[in-house]
Amino acid sequence: MTQVGFVGLGTMGSGVVRRLLDAGHDVTGWNRTRAKAEPLLAAGMAWADSPRAVAEASDIVFTMVTNTQALHAVTGGDDGILAGLADGKVYVDMSTVSPAASRALAEEVAARGARMLDAPVSGSVITLEKGKLSIMVGGDADVVQRVAPVLRAIGPVVTHVGGNGQAVLMKIAVNLNLAVQMLGFSEGVLLAEKGGIERKTAVDVMLRSVIASPMVEYRGPFVLEQPDEAWFDCSMMQKDLQLALELARSEAVPMPTTAATNEMLTAARGMGLGHHDFAVMFQALARMAGADADVRGGSDA
CA–CA gap between residue 287 and residue 223 (Å, rounded): 13
Question: Out of 89, 171, 194, 200, which one is annotated catalytic?
Answer: 171
- Please indicate whether residue 36 is annotated as part of the active site: no
Q: Which residues are catalytic?
A: 171
